[in-house]
Structure 1
């Protein structure tokens, strides 16, 4: 199956919940649900586009740290707290995936871990061998 490479972002919930930001096993990379958090700060409070764009930057950084990039992403799952704002998330997604169009799902959820968070995104990638 291959060696596991773990990535932590130092986010406030990683230790509490017990997870890593990303894991690479062989040519497969999975990035955990990611929110617009920087330490204890929430980025873009009240602005779904700003939060989604920031989340995608965190995801890009996690992918890069294990030798992958955004063009390797094959699946994106997006969780939003207000589906009426989906165009803002779609814009950030489109900007992040200029060269590729991964399989993507957007669903509305009742709440995220902090009420100021409006969007959470997770991805799966396959790195060319």
Structure 2
């Protein structure tokens, strides 16, 4: 089976030795992804905007891999503040209301930067 690595140009990809997503056959695994916090449209204290930003960006990654959000069968959501559940769920639900992948949400102690409230992993099957 052939392997397709999807890179996004992040400096972390070479530094850490990973890629944003890997497609082997009909399975696509997407690395944990955090938002691009710009301080304007996506702020460090806005879990809803961060979740939206992540899913919008991953939709483009999936497209490059020959898939779409409709092909997502699982999401794994990590947050540093489980009290943000409703905001995260609202954003996730806006994209996945009809698709309904399996999911889990987990509170963790921290992410790579204090600006990040949410990180999401995705699995898609085409």
| TM-score greater than 0.5 by the shorter chain | yes
Cross-structure match for 1:55: 54
What are the ranges of 5 or more consecutive residues in structure 2 without an aligned counterpart? none
Displacement after TM superposition at 1:58 (Å)? 1.2
The alpha-carbon deviation at position 45 of structure 1 amounts to: 1.6
Q: Structure 1: which 5+ residue stretches go unaligned?
A: none
TM-score normalised over the length of structure 1: 0.90
Aligned to 1:44, the other structure's residue is in SS state coil
Q: Where do 1:11-90 residues align within 5 Å?
A: 11-37=10-36, 41=38, 43-90=42-89
RMSD: 1.4
Within a 5 Å distance, the mapping from 1:97-112 to structure 2 comes to 97-112=96-111
1:4 and 2:3 matched = yes
Q: Which deviations, in whole Å up to 9, do the C-alpha atoms of 1:84-104 show, x marking residues without a partner?
A: 011111011111113210000
In structure 1, distance between residues paired with 2:112 and 2:47: 15
Q: Detail structure 1 runs of 4+ shifted over 3 Å in the superposition.
A: none
Q: Distance in 1 between matches of 2:10 and 2:117?
A: 17
